[in-house]
């Protein structure tokens, strides 16, 4: 299996500094204190975690539905990652996934069971298991 890579550089102090990140495939962005801990423009590590979780979850749910014999037409996942002040530092406290999937020939109870199991089985979810509050709201759409 491949190993993926990315790099990041930070210049300056915490509040007046700035950073950049770059992935091997060209993914890149700028971040700073304001874009991370306030509502300023730019990216941040939590946005990258949310994107990773949404992408992994969508793919893993698709695999679980296919294994069930009910392949999805589409799986659309939005993830929200929350970082909050915790003591002297900050902590990622929540990851909320909202999933909308078009899946023929499945009832909602079975879909919900597979969606819930996917939360624990997706590799990125496993890597983020230290987040105290990970929630999934899954909706079947036609």
Average pLDDT over residues 58-72: 98
In this prediction the pTM is 0.92
- What's the pLDDT score for residue 68? 98
102: nearest Cα among 59, 134, 67, 73: 73
Mean pLDDT over the full length of the chain: 95
The pLDDT of residue 63: 97
d(CA 3, CA 20): 21
Domain boundaries, the chain: 6-37, 45-141
Residue 1 has pLDDT above 90, yes or no: no
On whether the CB atoms of residues 110 and 140 are closer than 8 A, the answer is no
Going by pLDDT thresholds of 50, 70 and 90, the confidence category of residue 142 is: confident
Q: Do 134 and 94 contact (CB within 8 A), yes or no?
A: yes
Which of 44, 49, 61, 46 has the alpha carbon at shortest distance from 137?
61
pLDDT in tens, 84-136: 999 999 999 999 999 999 999 999 999 999 999 999 899 999 999 999 999 99
- In the CATH hierarchy, which top-level class contains the domain 45-141? alpha beta
């Amino acid at each position: 299996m491949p190993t993926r890579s990315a790099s990041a550089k930070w210049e300056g102090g915490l509040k007046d500094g700035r950073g950049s990140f770059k992935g091997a495939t060209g993914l890149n962005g700028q971040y700073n204190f304001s874009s991370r801990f306030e509502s300023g423009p730019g990216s941040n590590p939590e946005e990258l975690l949310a994107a990773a979780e949404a992408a992994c979850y969508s793919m893993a749910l698709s695999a679980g539905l296919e294994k069930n014999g009910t392949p999805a037409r589409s799986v659309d996942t939005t993830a929200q990652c929350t970082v909050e002040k915790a003591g002297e530092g900050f902590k990622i406290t929540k990851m909320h996934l909202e999933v909308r999937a078009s899946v023929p020939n499945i009832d909602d109870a079975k879909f919900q069971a597979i969606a819930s199991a996917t939360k624990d089985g997706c590799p990125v979810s496993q890597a983020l298991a230290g987040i105290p509050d990970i929630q999934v709201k899954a909706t079947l759409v036609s």
